[in-house]
Amino acid sequence: MQLTSLNAASRVVGSSRVSNRARKTGTIPAVYYGKGLEPVSISVTEKDLEPVLAPGKRYTLLDLVIDGKGGNPAVVYQYQKNNISQKITHIDFLKIDENTAVTVRVPVRLNGMPVGVKNQGGQLSQENHYLKLSAKPADIPKSIELDISEMPNDITYYAEKLDFGKASLMSPKRTVIFTISKGRDAASAEADAEAKPAAAAAAPAAAAAGAKQPAAAAGAKQPAAKEEPKKDAKKK
């Protein structure tokens, strides 16, 4: 397999203060580990790392040249960022073997403007931007590309529908990739269509109820008139 060299230097694990001081000089703490390998604490420079993490390069197959010695095949497994500056604060390199599959997170990219949005008034929402895949290093896709130009409104698209080539999906099959809503016009038309039969069914019942009310009123007994008390006859 073809590897891209990345220079690294061994480092002694120290306090967070030491690590922060190193970051200010453009050096990023890292660790290299994998099956049959004791974790090795290393560091890389921001300058050397930039091309490796450029768009579409996340899973470039690397040869870590540690203190001038190569022969350390790796792939970027994960990294952490500062919440404010968005600079990388730590990075993990995973040892790879060309015949052994590894599990990685691969970005999902949606291409095109869906018909369901452009012509049918729906709204597109990408629910998941990454999926976990298992593949041999040479078969790891840089990204999962999906053309959504012909997608209609009122749709939910699941991960199980995607083509992963020689890789295997490790995320749940029913992971939602994106949804396109019905749109206001379609939702309003559907609500009107549902309301009409209900109104038609309610009309005869209302008419029948109205007819019963006068009949009931006619059959009701009128209250008896109160008799005025008789005045006592005057005594003679």
pLDDT at 50: 87
What are residue 64's phi and psi, to 5 degrees?
-75, 120
d(CA 148, CA 2): 33
Domains of the chain: which residue ranges?
Answer: 1-97, 101-193
Return the CATH fold of 101-193.
RNA Polymerase Alpha Subunit; Chain A, domain 2 (2.170.120)
Q: Residue 236: what pLDDT?
A: 41
Rg (the chain; Cα; Å): 37
pLDDT at 229: 54
10-residue averages of pLDDT along the chain (236 residues): 88 67 79 91 91 78 93 91 88 91 90 95 95 91 93 96 95 97 67 58 59 54 54 47
pLDDT at position 235 is 46
Listed in sequence order, the DSSP H helices in the chain are 16-24, 46-49, 115-118, 184-219
Q: How far is CA 141 from CA 109, 114, 133, in A?
A: 12, 24, 9
Report yes or no: 105 and 143 within 8 Å, Cβ to Cβ.
no
Residue 62 confidence (pLDDT): 92
Distance from the first to the final alpha carbon of the chain = 139
Strand partners, 80: 90
Same fold, 1-97 and 101-193: no
Q: What is the CATH number of domain 1-97?
A: 2.40.240.10
The answer, as to whether pTM is greater than 0.85, is: no
